[in-house]
C-alpha cells in the first residue's frame, strides 16, 4: 500500500519522484501498476489487445488507482472510464530514462553541441508507441510537470523524472503530437509554485499574445540549395563583395487590405527576395526572427532561442524562405541575442525558482538600461545553451551568418553602469573574462562545426582583436561593425556644406584604424529611429541638396574600405523615421527617390564587378590617399586597388555646395579614365553635370603624382573614375 504522505504528495502535485510511485513496480506476488488520473472513475490494466489483466482499486479520493497483475506484459495499457466516456491510454510511467549516458556526460561537461536534439519537446516513437518526449533543465526545482492541451494544463497529471546527475527533468508522454501547446509547471526549491514556463528549447511558439510552446513535427522541408552551400564560403571571405540589406520583416511591407497584416514567410520569399536580388545585394540581414512577445522590441527581447517567430509562419516556412534566398544567390544573416533576455514571467528569468540562466547579483545579472537579465556566461550549462542555439540556426535553417548584438554590453562588466553598480573581475578590471571565453568558444565552434559561415560583431568600442583568430587571443569574429566610421561620417554630413571643408578630418580619421579589423560599414536601423531622423532627413539644406548629399554618402560608402550594410528604406531615401509598426513608405518610390534606388542598384553592380572595390576591403594595400586635406574646396579623393594591384578605381568627393571646374586630380597612370559613376547623373535625380563619360590623364603633375586629370566636380557629388 502506498504510504499516506506519498499519496498526498501525488494528489497535491508535490511529489518530486513520481516514478518511485507511479507505473509498474515488482512485488513478490506479481507487479503493481499505479496510476494517477484525476478525472477517472475506474481504471483497468489491459493488454495490447484490450484484454483486462486487472481492475484497479481506488486509493484515496482524487483519482489514484493501483492494480496487482500476476504477469504484466511489457506493453500494457490503461483503460480509463470517466464522465466523458472510456478511453485507452499508454502509461507514461512505464518508459525508462530518456537521456543517454553520453548525453548526460556531455551536458555535465557543458559541451553538448547537439543539445537541442536532447532537451525540449521531440516527437518520437518508443517501444512502438507514438508520443513526445519532454526534457527541461531545472536543477533546483522540487517538482516539474509538462502541462498542455492534452491534460487540461493540470500539473498533477504528468510530473516528470529528475535526472539528478544533470538536473534535467524528462518524460515521454504517449499520444501527444505536433501542434500541441505546452509549458512546464515548476515548484521552486522551497515548494513554491512558479509561473508556467515556456520551453527554453521550444522549436515553435503560439502566436502572440499567447506564449505557449508548440510541439513541432520533424522538419519536412526538402532543401534545394546544394549549389549555394558549396560556394558560400567563397562568397563570405574578406576578398568577396559583401553588400547587406538589413530588414525588419514585420515592417518591410504589410497587407493594408487585410487589416494591415504581416506578410508570411512565403509571401516574403516571393516579394522581398526578388527585390533584394534585383537591387544587387549579396546578403540579407534579418532583425531577430527568434521568437519574442512584443512587436516593438523588434525581436531584441528574445524569449525563443530555437523558435522562428510565429508571426510569419512555422519553422518549415522559414526554411523555405532561406532556401529561396539561396536560390537567388543571396546569403541570410540572422541577428542573434546572447547578451540579455527579458523579464517576461514565462521566459528564462528565475527559471526554477533560482537565478539559473542569469547572474544572481543584480550588479552582474541585470541591465538597468534595457530592463533585462544578463546571461551568466561563466556557467557551463548556460554557455552550452547559447552555443547550441547558434548551431541550431546555422545547421537546421542553413543560416549563413550570425550578427551578434550588443557585444560591448557583454564584454564590459561596467557597461551602462555607474560606480558601485558593477563587480570587477578577479584582477580588478572591467573586462568580463567569462564573456570573452564564451565569445571565443562561440566563434571557434561555429566556424569549426558549420563550414562556410560568417559571424559579425556589433561592437562599439576599441576592444582589440574582435576579428582576430581565437588562437592568438582574438574573439574570432569574421567581421565587426565599424561604428566609428558611421558616427564620424554622419556627423560630418549633417554639417552645412559651407563648413564641411574645415572638418575633413572626420572623413579621414577612420582610415587610421580601417584595417585593424575586418570591418562592415553599417547604416543600420539604429540610425533612423528614436528622433535621429531618416538618413535623408539628417542631410542639411533644401530638398535637392539633401538628396545630393545622400547620394554622395552612398557612393563614398561603397568606395570606402569595408563591407556594406544598408537598412531597408534607405535604398529609396525614405523621408520619415523607420516605424516598426507600419510598412516602409513605398508610395515615395518616384522622382528623386527612384533615382536613389537606381544609384544603390548601380553601386551594388559596380562594387561587385570591380575587384578594386572589394578584394582588399580589409588590407591597407588596397587603399591610397590622393588628397584628404583640401579644405579650401571641401574635396576628398583616394584610390582603391584590386588584389593584383593592377586595376584601380579613383573616388573623388565634393562635399561643398559649389561646382568645381577644371579640378586637377593626381592619378596613377596616363591615358583615358572612364567616369564609372557620377552621383549627379540625371538617372539618379541629379542635374547631369559631369565629364561627358571620360577624361584623359596628362603628364601634368598633381598631388605628388606625375599624371593628373582635369575634372568637373558637381556640387555635393561623388565621382568614380577608372582607366
- Residue 494: predicted pLDDT: 97
**Cβ(250)–Cβ(242) below 8 Å:** no
Q: Which whole-number Å values give the CA distances from 250 to 213, 289, 321, 459, in the listed order?
A: 21, 10, 14, 25
- Residue 61: predicted pLDDT: 80
- Residue 368: predicted pLDDT: 87
Helices assigned H by DSSP within 93-252? 101-109, 226-235, 249-252
Give the homologous superfamily in CATH for domain 101-214. Answer: Immunoglobulins (2.60.40.10)
Mean pLDDT of the 43-50 span: 93
pLDDT digits (tens, 9 = 90+) for 294-349: 888 898 999 999 999 999 999 999 999 999 999 999 999 999 999 999 999 999 99
- Residue 185: predicted pLDDT: 98
Mean pLDDT of the 123-145 span: 97
End-to-end CA separation in angstroms for the chain: 95
% pLDDT > 90, the chain: 96
pLDDT at position 702 over 90: yes
Per-residue DSSP letter, 263: P
- Residue 676: predicted pLDDT: 97
- Residue 363: predicted pLDDT: 92
pLDDT band at 238 (very low <50, low <70, confident <90, very high): very high
pLDDT digits (tens, 9 = 90+) for 551-599: 999 999 999 999 999 999 999 999 999 999 999 999 999 999 999 999 9
- Residue 587: predicted pLDDT: 95
- Residue 296: predicted pLDDT: 87
Mean pLDDT of the 193-203 span: 98
- Residue 421: predicted pLDDT: 92
- Residue 184: predicted pLDDT: 98
What pTM did the predictor assign?
0.95
pLDDT band at 247 (very low <50, low <70, confident <90, very high): very high
Residue range(s) occupied by CATH 2.60.40.10 in the chain: 4-94, 101-214
- Residue 2: predicted pLDDT: 84
Measuring CA to CA, which residue among 19, 66, 24, 75 is closest to residue 46? 75
pLDDT at position 29 over 90: no
pLDDT band at 84 (very low <50, low <70, confident <90, very high): confident
pLDDT band at 637 (very low <50, low <70, confident <90, very high): very high
- 414 class by beta-carbon count within 10 Å (0-12 exposed, 13-18 middle, 19+ buried): middle
**570 alpha carbon, distance to own chain's centre:** 21
Averaged pLDDT of the chain: 96
- 672 class by beta-carbon count within 10 Å (0-12 exposed, 13-18 middle, 19+ buried): middle
Q: Which whole-number Å values give the CA distances from 660 to 174, 203, 655, in the listed order?
A: 79, 60, 11
Residue ranges of E strands in 10-128? 23-27, 30-36, 40-46, 52-55, 57-59, 64-69, 77-82, 85-89, 120-126
pLDDT band at 256 (very low <50, low <70, confident <90, very high): very high
**Cβ(32)–Cβ(25) below 8 Å:** yes
Specify the CATH class of 4-94 in words.
mainly beta
- Enumerate the active-site residues: 405, 458
CATH classification code of 234-290+328-497+519-604: 3.20.20.80
Residue range(s) occupied by CATH 2.60.40.1180 in the chain: 613-722
- Residue 60: predicted pLDDT: 85
pLDDT at position 521 over 80: yes
pLDDT digits (tens, 9 = 90+) for 420-441: 999 999 999 999 999 999 999 9
pLDDT at position 1 over 80: no
d(CA 478, CA 499): 38
pLDDT band at 455 (very low <50, low <70, confident <90, very high): very high
CATH pick for 613-722 out of 3.20.20.480, 3.40.640.10, 2.60.40.1180, 3.30.160.110 = 2.60.40.1180
Amino acid at each position: 500500500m502506498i504510504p499516506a504522505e506519498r499519496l498526498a504528495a501525488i494528489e497535491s502535485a508535490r511529489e518530486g519522484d513520481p516514478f518511485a510511485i507511479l507505473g509498474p513496480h515488482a512485488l513478490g506476488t506479481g507487479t503493481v501498476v499505479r496510476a494517477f488520473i484525476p478525472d477517472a472513475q475506474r481504471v483497468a490494466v489491459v493488454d495490447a489487445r484490450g484484454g483486462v489483466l486487472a481492475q484497479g482499486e481506488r486509493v484515496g479520493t482524487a483519482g489514484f488507482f493501483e492494480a496487482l497483475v500476476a504477469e504484466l506484459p511489457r506493453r500494457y495499457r490503461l483503460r480509463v472510464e470517466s464522465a466523458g466516456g472510456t478511453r485507452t491510454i499508454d502509461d507514461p510511467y512505464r518508459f525508462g530514462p530518456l537521456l543517454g549516458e553520453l548525453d548526460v556526460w556531455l551536458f555535465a561537461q557543458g559541451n553538448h553541441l547537439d543539445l537541442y536534439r536532447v532537451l525540449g519537446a521531440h516527437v518520437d516513437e518508443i517501444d512502438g508507441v507514438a508520443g513526445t518526449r519532454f526534457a527541461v533543465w531545472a536543477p533546483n526545482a522540487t517538482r516539474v510537470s509538462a502541462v498542455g492541451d492534452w491534460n487540461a494544463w493540470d500539473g498533477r497529471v504528468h510530473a516528470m523524472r529528475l535526472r539528478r546527475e544533470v538536473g534535467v527533468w524528462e518524460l515521454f508522454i504517449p499520444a501527444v503530437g505536433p501542434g500541441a501547446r505546452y509549458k512546464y509547471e515548476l515548484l521552486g526549491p522551497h515548494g513554491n509554485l512558479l509561473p508556467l514556463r515556456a520551453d527554453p528549447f521550444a522549436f515553435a511558439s503560439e502566436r502572440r499574445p499567447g506564449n505557449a510552446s508548440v510541439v513541432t513535427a520533424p522538419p519536412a522541408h526538402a532543401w534545394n540549395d546544394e549549389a549555394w552551400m558549396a560556394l558560400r564560403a567563397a562568397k563570405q571571405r574578406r576578398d568577396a563583395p559583401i553588400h547587406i540589406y538589413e530588414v525588419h520583416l514585420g515592417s518591410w511591407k504589410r497587407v493594408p487590405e487585410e487589416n494591415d497584416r504581416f506578410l508570411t514567410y512565403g509571401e516574403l520569399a516571393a516579394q522581398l527576395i526578388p527585390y533584394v536580388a534585383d537591387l544587387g545585394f549579396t546578403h540579407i540581414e534579418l532583425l531577430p526572427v527568434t521568437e519574442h512577445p512584443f512587436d516593438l522590441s523588434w525581436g531584441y527581447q528574445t524569449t525563443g532561442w530555437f523558435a522562428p517567430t510565429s508571426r510569419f509562419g512555422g519553422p518549415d516556412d522559414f526554411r523555405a524562405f532561406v532556401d529561396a534566398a539561396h536560390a537567388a544567390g543571396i546569403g541570410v544573416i540572422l541577428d542573434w541575442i546572447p547578451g540579455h533576455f527579458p523579464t517576461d514571467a514565462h521566459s528564462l528569468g528565475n527559471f526554477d525558482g533560482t537565478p539559473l540562466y542569469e547572474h544572481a547579483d543584480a550588479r552582474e545579472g541585470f541591465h538597468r538600461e534595457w530592463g533585462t537579465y544578463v546571461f551568466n556566461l561563466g556557467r557551463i550549462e548556460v554557455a552550452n545553451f547559447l552555443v547550441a542555439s547558434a548551431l541550431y540556426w546555422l545547421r537546421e535553417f542553413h543560416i549563413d551568418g550570425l550578427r551578434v548584438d550588443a557585444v560591448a554590453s557583454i564584454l564590459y562588466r561596467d557597461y551602462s553602469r555607474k560606480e558601485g553598480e558593477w563587480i570587477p573581475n578577479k584582477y580588478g578590471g572591467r573586462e568580463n573574462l567569462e564573456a570573452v571565453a564564451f565569445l571565443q568558444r562561440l566563434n571557434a565552434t561555429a566556424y569549426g562545426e558549420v563550414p562556410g559561415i560568417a559571424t559579425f560583431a556589433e561592437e562599439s568600442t576599441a576592444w582589440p582583436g574582435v576579428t582576430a583568430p581565437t588562437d592568438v587571443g582574438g574573439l574570432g569574429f569574421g567581421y565587426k561593425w565599424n561604428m566609428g566610421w558611421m558616427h564620424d561620417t554622419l556627423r560630418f554630413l549633417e554639417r552645412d556644406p559651407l563648413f564641411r571643408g574645415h572638418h575633413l578630418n572626420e572623413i579621414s580619421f577612420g582610415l587610421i584604424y580601417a584595417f585593424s579589423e575586418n570591418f562592415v560599414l553599417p547604416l543600420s536601423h539604429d540610425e533612423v529611429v528614436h528622433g535621429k531622423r531618416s538618413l535623408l532627413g539628417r542631410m542639411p539644406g533644401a530638398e535637392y541638396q539633401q538628396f545630393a548629399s545622400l547620394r554622395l554618402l552612398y557612393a563614398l560608402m561603397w568606395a570606402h574600405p569595408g563591407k556594406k550594410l544598408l537598412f531597408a528604406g534607405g535604398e529609396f531615401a525614405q523621408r520619415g523615421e523607420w516605424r516598426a509598426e507600419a510598412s516602409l513608405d513605398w508610395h515615395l518610390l518616384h522622382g528623386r527617390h527612384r533615382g536613389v534606388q537606381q544609384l544603390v542598384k548601380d553601386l551594388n553592380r559596380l562594387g561587385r564587378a570591380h575587384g578594386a572595390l572589394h578584394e582588399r576591403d580589409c588590407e591597407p594595400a588596397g587603399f591610397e590617399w590622393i588628397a584628404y586635406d583640401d579644405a579650401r574646396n571641401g574635396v576628398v579623393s583616394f584610390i582603391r586597388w584590386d588584389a593584383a594591384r593592377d586595376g584601380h578605381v579613383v573616388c573623388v568627393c565634393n562635399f561643398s555646395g559649389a561646382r568645381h571646374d577644371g579640378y586637377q586630380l593626381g592619378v596613377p597612370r596616363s591615358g583615358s579614365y572612364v567616369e564609372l559613376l557620377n552621383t549627379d547623373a540625371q538617372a539618379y535625380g541629379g542635374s547631369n553635370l559631369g565629364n561627358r563619360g571620360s577624361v584623359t590623364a596628362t603628364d601634368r603633375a598633381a598631388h605628388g603624382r606625375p599624371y593628373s586629370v582635369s575634372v568637373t566636380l558637381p556640387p555635393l557629388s561623388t565621382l568614380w573614375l577608372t582607366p
